């Protein structure tokens, strides 16, 4: 299988860049399954039903979120009725929505997506490792499902790396999100799981992690927090990761960062 996972879409600039570049990426890379992180898509904070629908119209198969999942009040009701929109699985029992899903591709393959949120420097949710284990207990890679993506939405690189080794050999891809900066460690771990600590964001990199620099600088330099964060609106770079797996085992054969548009040096995998 060929899978593309795009990092956090930030504001209108990120949405416009995804709309511009995604059809070509899906065609040129012959993508079987496509996932995006949409938790910053609505003005930098959360996602709306309308934006979620626009992602699906572009050919996205699954939208994941993170700590900003509830920033738009309408998401509470929408996520309960939209199985393609996921929130972290380690929210407490009874939280609306789902933390994992199994999706059938147009080619008949079965892809599983699991999302969890880290706990280091973040809200003290349930154990993300136990949540991942509970979902992995329900399937078998290469047998009941053809691909497993685990997204760990976390601050600490150590927590993300630990999740990679925890799931090595049992997932196709473990990818980190949340810090909005693409890391240079895309690799295949010893037991065959593709891994990258953070796949980056789809947003304007002339910014402070996607936000116009004025308010973050004011908070850092003057300790004033009365202003409002607003997404930077310059040309965005679409960042993500491309993985191709072995059809028999579901484990990774290749992993390549994806960068296109905006300010960052482009990188498009060559098939």
Contacts of 216 (CB under 8 A, 6+ apart): 208, 229
CA distance 152 to 144: 23
Beta strands 147-153 and 110-117 are parallel
CB atoms within 10 A of CB 50: 10
Residue-wise DSSP of 109-140: -EEEEEEEE--TTS---S-HHHHHHHHHTT--
CB environment 99-119: b (16+ within 10 A), e (fewer): bbbbbebeeebbbbbbbbbbb
Which two three-digit tokens encode residue 233? 């609106």
Nearest to 179 by CA among 202, 201, 160: 201
* 153 tagged catalytic: no
Which residue in 21, 68, 153, 178 is the catalytic one?
68
CA distance 260 to 268: 7
**Rg of the Cα trace of the chain?**
17
3-state secondary structure of 165: helix
Nearest to 186 by CA among 246, 172, 194, 178: 194
Task: Determine the Cα angle at 124 with ends 163 and 49, to 5°.
Answer: 85
Among all chains, which residue has been given the structure tokens 């060559």? 270
Active site residues: 68
């Amino acid at each position: 299988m060929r899978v593309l996972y795009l990092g956090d879409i930030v504001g209108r600039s990120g949405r416009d860049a995804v709309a511009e570049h995604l059809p070509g990426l899906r065609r040129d890379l012959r993508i079987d399954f496509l996932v995006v992180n949409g938790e910053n898509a609505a003005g930098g904070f959360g996602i709306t039903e309308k934006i979620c629908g626009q992602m699906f119209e572009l050919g996205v198969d699954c939208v994941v979120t993170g700590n900003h999942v509830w920033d738009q009040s309408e998401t509470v009701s929408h996520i309960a009725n939209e199985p393609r929109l996921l929130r972290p699985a380690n929210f407490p029992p009874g939280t609306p929505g789902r933390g994992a899903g199994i999706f059938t591709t147009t080619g008949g393959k079965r892809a599983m997506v699991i999302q969890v949120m880290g706990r280091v420097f973040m809200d003290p949710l349930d154990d993300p490792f136990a949540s991942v284990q509970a979902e992995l207990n329900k399937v078998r890679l290469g047998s009941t499902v053809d691909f497993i993506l685990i997204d760990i939405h976390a601050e600490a690189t150590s927590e993300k790396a630990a999740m990679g080794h925890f799931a090595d050999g049992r997932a196709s891809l473990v990818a980190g999100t949340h810090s909005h900066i693409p890391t240079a460690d895309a690799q295949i771990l010893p037991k065959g799981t593709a891994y990258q600590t953070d796949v980056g964001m789809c947003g304007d990199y002339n910014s402070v992690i996607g936000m116009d620099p004025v308010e973050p600088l004011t908070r850092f330099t003057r300790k004033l927090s009365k202003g409002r964060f607003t997404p930077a609106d310059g040309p965005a770079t679409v960042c993500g990761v491309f993985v191709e797996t072995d059809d028999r085992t579901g484990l990774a054969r290749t992993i390549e960062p994806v960068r296109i548009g905006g300010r960052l040096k482009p990188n498009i995998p060559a098939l």
